[in-house]
Structure 1
Amino acid sequence: MKKIIMRLALVLVCMAVAWGAVLPAGSEAADQPRVEKKAAANGPASVELGAPVVDKASILTKAQVEKLTEKIKAVEEKHQVRIGIYTLKNLPSGMKAGKLANNVLDEHYAGGQNGSIVFLIAMGSRDWYISTDNTMRQRIVDGVGIDGLKDMFLEDLSDGNYAESFGAFVDGVDKYLTYYEETGEPYDPANEFSYTAAAVAVLLALFAAWAFRGGLISSMSNVNPASEASAYLTQGSFHLSRNQDTFLYTTVTRVAKSKNDDSSSSSCSDSSHGGGGGKF
């Protein structure tokens, strides 16, 4: 009987030891997925929230994102603004690029001391849109301001040089904001046109043409000026016998005026946002 009790005790001790060894491993394995899931859920969201570059379309390399981020942060600090570059594969169903860009600005990039601006592109529909808040709108105005930025980045964007295109956009924003801070008014390409320089150029061109013409005339030995028009007509070589005008018919051709379908003029501006966009 004593032997049976000792054997039962030994079995219970072995089971206790085995259970103690299994329980920590099992609980750790059970808790691990929750930890990993939480990290996976919080990681990307915290990176994307207000990040200078959010590349949901995956068109940039990690090195390109880091370089753009560094450039954007330098311009943000220089002018006390918020700048965002936001790419995605497709627009949500029924959503326009301009409306989405406005929402992205309000949710993730609002609060720039001197304004906020977001550059959004949708790869599926080939849409681009620049959204500004009202503070930035005073510095980069709708129309000439947005079109000026477009001219800086659109060619590279259409050619698939996305990093270069985004870099040109950031450089353009820097240029426009610097101009505003120095002059107190938004940049307008027309301001760079000098009427004085244009007038001087016209005068120089006229003088050069007059001098060239005079040189050609002076080199012609068989031509002399005539004081009367009759000198150019051989006497007796022309006789007008009859003078009559006959009306035949009139042809009228009407061509429909083509409508301007320039996608770059599309805008979702409202009381709180400026900007514009188009196709690339």
Structure 2
Amino acid sequence: MKRLARVSAMLSALLLCLLLTMTAAFAASVQDGAKLLKAEQKAALEQKIKQVEDAHQVKIGIVTMKSLKGAPPGKTANSILDKQYAGGKNGSIVLLLAMDSRDYHVSTDSVMRTIITDDGGFPHLKEAFLPHLKDNDFYGAFDAYVDGTDEMLAYYEREGEPYDPYNEFSPLALVIAIALGVLAAILVNSVLEGMMSNVAYAPSADAYLEDGSVSLTENNDTFLYTTETRRPKPKKSSGGGGGGSHGGGGGKF
């Protein structure tokens, strides 16, 4: 009897895994529950997403909702990713929008999180689509989200490391810019000094004082007190997509 129960439990677990896999396989790449897109816009996005998914072997989702009904955006996005968009060979990513609270959240799985990182990749992706969201240009936002994802996936495949805006920083360019700035400041200062007729070089500080204008009769220093203020060092808060193996982030638009 116990053996039969164990077999039954194993079959149930296997069936559940199969069901989740099939759900992820057949889930539409764009689920516009909030009705933000025209039919032709949705079709264009789905076609673009299919091309990016095939090119990089990933899963990409866009989900809009009228309301989260009080549910946390991060946990909701993570749950949608796990149930409907899991199984991307090189990772999965989902953008969730909730219109009543104007929340957005991007969720990445453990594989995609190593490609589109929380610290470098997600802020870059957010900069691409968030301005469109704030302007209520939803098609533009989703299009930029797909393009940004494609861009960072291609960068990772080409460079062998995740995209980071600091990788594009050039120390040599900074040194050159500082040097040019200093030279420009010296030049401007020299020109201004040359235009001032009442300015002349003085060999000592006495030349700047009129005779008899200052007379020191006593010199005394008195120490009063020292004020010391201590503040507790703030603890670094954790960001990301809601904990666990998920990554990404979100906010308001």
TM-score, normalised via structure 2 length:
0.78
For structure 2, the 5+ residue unaligned runs are: 1-22
- 3-state SS, counterpart of residue 134 of structure 1: coil
2:114 aligned to 109, 118, 138, which one?
138
> Is residue 53–residue 84 contact of structure 1 (8 Å, CA) maintained in 2?
yes
1:76 alignment partner in structure 2:
53
Distance 1:60 1:255, change over 3 A: farther
CA distance in 1, matches of 2:102, 2:198: 67
CA distance in 1, matches of 2:57, 2:208: 77
- Which is greater in Rg? 1
- Aligned-partner residue type, residue 249 of structure 2: G
> Is residue 118–residue 240 contact of structure 2 (8 Å, CA) maintained in 1?
no
1:279 alignment partner in structure 2:
252
CA distance in 2, matches of 1:90, 1:224: 73
1:91 alignment partner in structure 2:
68
Deviation, 1:58, is 0.8
Deviation, 1:131, is 1.2
- Aligned-partner residue type, residue 250 of structure 2: G
Deviation, 1:158, is 2.3
- Aligned-partner residue type, residue 196 of structure 1: L
CA distance in 2, matches of 1:169, 1:140: 12
1:51 aligned to 19, 28, 45, which one?
28
Asked which structure has the greater RCO (Cα within 8 Å, sep 6+), the reply is 2
Deviation, 1:65, is 0.5
- 1:1-280 alignment, distance < 5 Å: 49-92=26-69, 95-243=71-219, 265=239, 267-271=241-245, 273-280=246-253
CA distance in 1, matches of 2:116, 2:206: 66
CA distance in 1, matches of 2:147, 2:211: 75
> Is residue 90–residue 111 contact of structure 2 (8 Å, CA) maintained in 1?
yes
Deviation, 1:195, is 1.3
> Is residue 265–residue 277 contact of structure 1 (8 Å, CA) maintained in 2?
no
Deviation, 1:228, is 2.0
Identity rate, percent: 50
TM-score, normalised via structure 1 length:
0.71
CA distance in 1, matches of 2:102, 2:200: 67
For structure 1, the 5+ residue unaligned runs are: 1-45
Distance 1:99 1:220, change over 3 A: closer
Deviation, 1:86, is 0.7
Bigger helix fraction: 1
Deviation, 1:161, is 1.1
CA distance in 2, matches of 1:88, 1:168: 19
Deviation, 1:248, is 9.3
Indicate the RMSD between aligned Cα atoms, in angstroms: 3.1
> Is residue 265–residue 278 contact of structure 1 (8 Å, CA) maintained in 2?
no
**For residues 129-178 of structure 1, what are the alpha-carbon distances to aligned partners after superposition, in whole Å with 9 as ceiling and x for unaligned?**
11111111110112332222112111221221111111111111011111
Alignment size in residue pairs: 230
CA distance in 2, matches of 1:255, 1:113: 48
CA distance in 2, matches of 1:73, 1:113: 14
> Is residue 67–residue 101 contact of structure 2 (8 Å, CA) maintained in 1?
yes
